[in-house]
Amino acid sequence: MSTEDTTTVGSFQLPSIVPRLLSNRKILVGLTVLLPIIVITALGESITPYDPLQTHVADKYAAPGGQYLLGTDNLGRDILSRLITGGQSSLLLGFGATAVSMSAGVPIGLSAGYLKGRVDEVLMRLMDIMMSVPVLLLGILILVALSSNIVNVILAIGIVYVPRIARVTRSATLAVSEEPYVMAAKARGESTSHILFKEIMPNVMAPIVVEGSIRVGYAIMIGTSLSFLGLGAGPPHADWGYMIATARLHIYQTPWFLLWPSLALLVTIMAINILGDGLRDVLDPRAMEGEL
Amino acid sequence: MSAQETQIRSDQDETLLSVDNLSVEFAVSDGRIQALRDVSLSIESGETLGIAGESGSGKSTLAYAIVRYLDNNAHVPEGSIEFKGRDLLEMLPAELRSVRGKQIAHVAQNASRALNPSMRIGKQIRETIELHQDVSGEEAQNRVHEVLDQVNIPDPLEVAKRYPNELSGGQQQRALIATGLACDPDLLILDEPTTGLDVTTQAKLLDLIEELKGESDAGILLITHNLSAIAQIADRVNILYAGEMMEKGPVDEVFTEPANPYTQALLATTPEIDSQKDLRAIPGQIPELGSIPDGCIFADRCAFVTEECRSGQIDMESPTPGHQTRCQRWETAVEDPIKSGTKTARTSSPGDVILEADDVHKHYDEGGFVQNLVRDHKPVQAVQGVNLQIREGETVGLVGESGCGKSTLGRTFLRLHDPTSGSIKYRGTDIASLSKSEMKEFRSECQIIFQDPDASLNPRKTVKRIIARPMEMFTDLDEDERNARVDELLDQVNLSGDLKTKFPHALSGGQQQRVAIARAFAANPSLVVLDEPVSSLDVSVQASILNLLDDLRDEYNTSYLLISHDMGVIENICDRLAVMYLGNVIEEGPLTEVFTPPYHPYTRSLLSSIPSLDPHEDDTRIRLEGDVPSARDPPSGCSFHTRCPQKIGDVCETDEPKLETVEQTSNGQQTHCIACHLDDPEMSKPLDEPAENL
Amino acid sequence: MNYLYLGKRLVIAFLSLLVVSSVVFAMTMALPGSAAEIILGTQQTEQSVQQVREEMGLDRPLSERYVDFVIGVFTLDFGDSLISDQPVTEMLIPRLIRTLQLAVVAMLLSIVLAIPMGVIAAAKRDTLSDTAITNVSYVGVSLPSFVSASLLLLFFTTGPLGIFPSGGYEPLSEGFIPWVRHLALPAIALNFVVFAYVLRQTRSSMIETLESDYIRTARLKGLAERSVLARHALRNGLLPTVTVLAINFGWMMGSVVIVEEIFSYPGMGRLIVQAIAERDLPVIQAGILVPTAAFVFANLLADVVYTVLDPRIELGEK
């Protein structure tokens, strides 16, 4: 049809990309919700109304409103303060684990997609095998073997999602590596690393960024689930998952104790997903849904 | 209108479809695109109207407007589309559905995507029949076989049971046309029916359309960028440019005495076989349709333009009854038409051999270890023992249909992949044994230009970085010198220096290809492989690129290996030619010798498949039976024997013919070789010898 | 049907299980605290630890134990529980059956709800119903199952809406109603993410299908939109969903751990949680390997179904 847009989608150039991103409603909504959450949790203890660890024995099970904005828990600790500091580890976990997956998954995907043949076969079979263990179980397995501290949790979740990043990168690379401009670089005698990182990588960033952004949400989900099971970072890094686990034991006395961290978790993950969706619409409109 | 009036009207007027003053606009983020403006056309029953236009002319939009299938952002501000006296634009959805498929059949381009991949061919055709006609069961099934037979599909009963991916490209296109014919429509719209097909397949498809014309009294609307297809088939032609009708009239008149500068320019720029035509490029490019300038839409590119062309409304004028042109200066244009020049034969004196293929084989998809262990896995034998030399200063053409291995060979020459066996020699040394510094020299000496200009430039790099990169790698130039050289190169490929900071997507296809050419010449190569360099460009742009390549060749004394499926392009630029079929070179020699007898039977059919721009040309073309066999399982003996119209017997099936010299030039250097068991007189029959005498 | 291809897939599935079981073996070996110490708990002396190690064969070379373990995995013999002394397989089977009931019900719920909603959203793209469905799906994919399960527990087991028991299991033999009442909440909780995910996947693949050239061909044949959808779009558009369902089965096999724990549902997941708390190695090993095997075969099944449905795929030629 004659309305074809000649600009290449799927690749982007700064700075023209910024207004294009900001004109997307989903990205705007996602950022508007997410940025304050990040800022507040980053400020952490410097803005919490109470010390999140301090117990107020007289004020156990205090209802929301009043002195404690969101109420107190079974030990009389201020829930709002705990929510803010708990968010730190949840978010750190999400972004940290995604960074781990990307730093392993992107090079794996690039090499498999460009070098093809044996390398591709071996790497991708390995990824398939990793993916054959259900995500949460793989996380459990890794954390049963390693001790549960925040670094190991980040590592574990990062490893769990390496295959997904690698697969997305590989399929984007596979498409790009047959492009004439890569052929042209080969015909010029460019080195493999130049071709991988200078010619191919900038052109496969769009799907990787999209996948990565969605991964952050899933990583938070898995991370809080593990900590719900008692395999998380644990106290004093009481993240939202741990809070929900504790709250569940007191669910009938203090329902708000359960509601607040649930709400925080829902809103955060949702904002990330909406943002990721918006990024996909703008950067990589032909892509399908990511994998769980 | 009363029933009586309608009766009278349809008696007086045989017009099947009449589009009047149609405009179509698309709303886009930054305004609107006026894709069609004031377009009128009419078709009578039994008539074939060709709509010719380049990309961006709005020809497909026109086809979709007629079946009222425009995108949601489309808007029709004015005009009417009357079909058998009823305005299609006023119809209710249910009414429209009863017209679509039954009275108006739209056959889309790109049949492989237009057929449902998970439904058997027969069912897809049957669906239309059962929807619009009161038939079912065996009767419907018979009708399916009937239409498949009508489009000359061999063994319709079998094909009806197949899925689209089990058919060849040509057969898919036929099956799609069969779907259109299923209900005996009054109007058949064929949108680019031959695009993407090989010449030999294309020729057979055009025959089919001609046959259909004779069989039914349906009106046919043939939409294509291929002027020769229209010359062969259509009764009348409408020339569309940038959303406006430029010229309308009988094919004979428009093709022999075009009364519009655009038509004239288009004809002068279309490569033709065997006419020594020096292509005249059309300057500039098709305008953006966001804001339409006052006056004539073609003014910026027109050779006859005057000031008055640039203002006011340009109306249709009639040189003769039935012939209209949208040009105020048509009389001047007719008096002194744009004509292509006559090419002066190039005299090349080839020097030393730069690159040589020595018994090169290249196999693909050789299967994994397990596959080969479990069963006999057959690799794709893309190239099967080719010997070819490219000398300094000469242009060698490599021609053949898709899948013949020509691109694979071209890439093997540059060692973009290694040959399975045999060797490529660069100035006498096997490139597999080159040292690192020799390899670098080889890389700087040999460059490549690809078919798709949009994809051959890294979208994330500016024009300047793209062109300067080979200099960084192969020369000692400092940054200022490189800058100066980039400017010089841009100038040589006729691009403005302003483009330096642009990214590829901001350029048109022609401009992108010029940048790719500038990059190839940046390090003064001695050989450039041109892999279908113009086939994704519009004809009006093609000529300018070919002329540019021609100029650069003289300036840099570069050798070319030109890979193309288009004999017209080959003829325009090559000195020597190798014809490939299923991985083998079956004929090789100086251009003029290959284009004149003796012919290899395959070369003969290739040459005779090319439709001519001359509507009067006698049709004595040779048609090849069947499709190209699979390269996984090539036929024994001569690989062409399964389709050869001149097959002589068992020897063709058992013995593989060797390339043998049939003629030799005086200096003994250039020879004409053919690989065929036929004797010389058989191969020497002239091209227009009727097929049955071969 | 191409048996060579199927054979190849089977071999790969088998290899995956082999590799996974090796990894599970290696990682559980790395656990802090030896099995013998775990069994003896607080009453351990050096001598008793040594005795238990001998009884369990833990003093044998690692390689021998590895071979035994792998053979055990493929003969469904995971040894005895360190805590209850029961054979692990015996403990596992009834729990596996309960978990599969849960997973199958949850899966059916997804199929019955998510696919039609995804199709509707795609067919009515950018209308109010699409927006509503899409927004619901955002909530779904963003709600971890321990949150949705806890919330369901909060709202539907007490108070005015407290019509479900807060946990436990009743076999189907005790009657359909009790069975459903116990299964409903965990199945819904398990279904939440999967439902939303299948919905989104269905929507986007249907949208892609509806934009394809052959759908245009079908419309231009004069077919009504309903027939276009039913005859041309559904089959092609729902193909990717087959694979997605298999992937989601894996997700469920992980999520049961949490959902069963929250609803005190006596299935596999609960067993794993308990085993982790008690460091009951053989149970942890089996608890990871059995769901993995189930997932591997779900994928295999999806592959077969896919190839039966899609004539484009030339088996073995890929």
In the prediction, which pLDDT does B204 show? 87
Q: What is the pLDDT of residue A242?
A: 86
B56 Cβ under 8 Å from any chain A Cβ = yes
How much is the pLDDT for B379?
Answer: 84
Q: How many residues does chain C have?
A: 318
**C120 vs A233: which has the higher pLDDT:** C120
Nearest CA in chain A to B474: A188
3-state secondary structure A102-118: HHHHHHHHHHHHHHCHH
Q: Which of B106, B451, B50 is nearest to B225 (CA)?
A: B50
State whether residue B447 sits within 8 Å of chain A by CB. yes
- How many interchain CB pairs under 8 A, A with C? 143
Q: What pLDDT, on the 0 to 100 scale, is given for residue B625? A: 79
**Lowest-pLDDT choice from A62-66, B27-31, B57-61, B297-301:** A62-66
Average confidence (pLDDT) over C160-189: 86
Q: Which of C5, C6, C214, C234 to mutate to test the interface with B (most CBs of B within 10 A)?
A: C214
Residue B480 has pLDDT above 70, yes or no: yes
Query: What would the mean pLDDT of B605-631 be, rounded to a whole number?
Result: 79
- B611: nearest Cα among B222, B111, B180: B222
Burial pattern B219-252, b for ≥16 Cβ within 10 A else e, equals bbbbbbbbbbbbbbbbbbbbbbbbbbbbbbbbbe
Q: What is the SS3 assignment for C193-214?
A: HHHHHHHHHHHHHHHHHHCCHH
**In this structure, how many other beta carbons lie within 10 angstroms of the beta carbon of residue A65?**
10
Whether the pLDDT of residue B358 is over 60: the answer is: yes
* Buried residues in B157-196 as b, exposed as e (16+ CB within 10 A): eebbebbbeebebbbbbbbbbbbbbbbbbbbbbbbbbbee
How buried is A76 (Cβ within 10 angstroms: 0-12 exposed, 13-18 middle, 19+ buried)?
A: middle
Nearest chain A Cα distance for residue C294, angstroms: 10
Mean pLDDT of B138-158: 92
pLDDT at B39: 95
Residue C216 has its nearest CB partner, among B108, B179, B371, at B108
Which of C262, C257, C218, C254 minimizes the C-alpha distance to C236? C218
B243 touches chain A (CB under 8 A): yes
Residue of C nearest to A216 (CA): C142
Do the bridges between strand B671-674 and strand B584-590 make them parallel or antiparallel, or are there none, so unpaired? Answer: antiparallel
C250 and chain A in contact, CB less than 8 A: yes
What is the CATH number for C157? 1.10.3720.10
Residues constituting chain B: 694
For residue B3, pLDDT over 70 is answered with no
Share of chain B above pLDDT 90, in %: 52
* B559, containing H or E segment: strand B559-564
The order of strands in the sheet holding B429-430 is B380-391, B353-364, B421-426, B429-430
Does residue C40 belong to any structural domain of this protein? no
Among chain A residues, CA nearest to C27: A145
Distance from the Cα of B250 to chain C's closest Cα (Å) equals 30
pLDDT of residue C37: 65
pLDDT at A235: 66
Q: Does A147 touch chain C (CB under 8 A)?
A: yes
Residues of chain A with pLDDT under 50: 1-14
pLDDT band at B142 (very low <50, low <70, confident <90, very high): very high
Q: Which residue has the higher pLDDT, B129 or B336?
A: B129
Residues of C in contact with B105 (CB under 8 A): 220
Query: Superfamily for A78-265?
Result: MetI-like (1.10.3720.10)
Tally of domains within chain C:
1
Residue B193 confidence (pLDDT) above 50: yes
Looking at this predicted complex, what is its ipTM?
A: 0.83
Give the list of residues 6+ apart from residue B351 with CB closer than 8 angstroms, or none. B391, B392, B393
Residues A134, C145: C-beta atoms closer than 8 Å: no
Distance from CA of C71 to the nearest CA of A (A): 19
C94 touches chain A (CB under 8 A): no
Q: pLDDT tens digits, residue range B548-569?
A: 999 999 899 999 999 998 888 8
Cβ atoms of C17 and C296 closer than 8 Å: yes
Q: How far is B76 from chain A (nearest CA, A)?
A: 15
- Contact between chains at A247 and C150 (C-beta distance less than 8 A): yes
Question: Which of B364, B445, B460 is the mutation pick for testing A, counting most A CBs within 10 A?
Answer: B460
Mean of the per-residue pLDDT values of chain C: 84
Give the domain ranges of chain A: 78-265
| Residue B138, burial from CB neighbour count under 10 angstroms (0-12, 13-18, 19+) | exposed
Chain mean pLDDT for chain B: 88
Cβ–Cβ of C147/A244 closer than 8 Å?
yes
Query: Is the predicted pLDDT of residue B77 greater than 80, yes or no?
Result: yes
Rounded CA-CA distance B173/B111 in Å is 5
Residue B582 has pLDDT above 80, yes or no: yes
Is the confidence at residue B501, as pLDDT, over 70?
yes
Phi then psi for B49, rounded to 5 degrees? -110, 125
Contact indicator for B163, C311 with CB cutoff of 8 Å = yes
Q: Which residue of B has its CA nearest to A20?
A: B29
Q: Once rounded to an integer, what is the mean pLDDT over residues C107-132?
A: 91
Does any domain span residue C13? no
Looking at residue A8, its pLDDT comes to: 36
- For residue A266, list chain C residues with Cβ-Cβ distance below 8 A: 139, 142-143, 147
Q: Check pLDDT > 90 for residue C173.
A: no
In a domain, C36, yes or no: no
Please, which pLDDT band fits residue B689 given cuts at 50, 70 and 90?
low
Model pLDDT, residue C32: 56
- C12, part of any domain: no
Subunits with 3+ Cβ pairs within 8 Å of B are A, C
**pLDDT band at B669, cuts 50/70/90?**
low
Contact criterion met (CB < 8 Å) for B35 and A6: no
Interacting residues of A224 by C-beta distance below 8 A, sequence separation 6+: A90, A93, A232, A239, A240, A241, A244, A265, C144, C146
Domain that holds residue C288: 89-309
Please tell me what DSSP assigns to residue B279. Answer: -
| Residue C38 belongs to some domain of the structure | no
List, in order of start, the domains of chain B with CATH numbers.
3-103+185-335 (3.40.50.300), 394-574 (3.40.50.300), 596-694 (no CATH)
Q: CB–CB of B462/A14 below 8 Å? A: no
Please state, in angstroms and rounded to a whole number, the distance separating the CA atoms of residues C191 and C202: 16
A248 touches chain C (CB under 8 A): yes
Q: How confident is the model at residue B79 (pLDDT cuts 50, 70, 90)?
A: very high
Select from B102, B374, B375 the Cβ nearest to the Cβ of C222: B102
Does some domain include residue C53? no
Interchain proximity A266–C27, CB inside 8 Å? no
Quick check: C222 and B113 CB within 8 A?
Answer: no
Candidates B640, B362, B64, B525; CA nearest to A187 is B525
What is the structure's pLDDT at B7? 45
What is the per-residue pLDDT for B1? 41
Task: Indicate whether B5 pLDDT > 50.
Answer: no
- The predicted structure's pLDDT at residue B126: 95
CB proximity under 8 Å: B 623-682 to A: none
Kindly tell me the burial class for residue B35, based on how many C-beta atoms sit within 10 Å of its own C-beta (0-12, 13-18, 19 or more): buried
Phi, then psi, of B529 in degrees rounded to 5: -90, 125
- Judged against a pLDDT cut of 70, whether residue B115 lies above it is answered with yes
Gap from C190 CA to chain A (nearest CA, Å): 13
**Which of A144, A265, A289 comes nearest C201 by C-beta?**
A289
Residues 6+ apart with CB under 8 A from A109: A165, A166, A167, A168, A169, A170, A172, A173
Distances (CA, A) of B585 to B140, B384, B661, B682: 47, 9, 13, 20
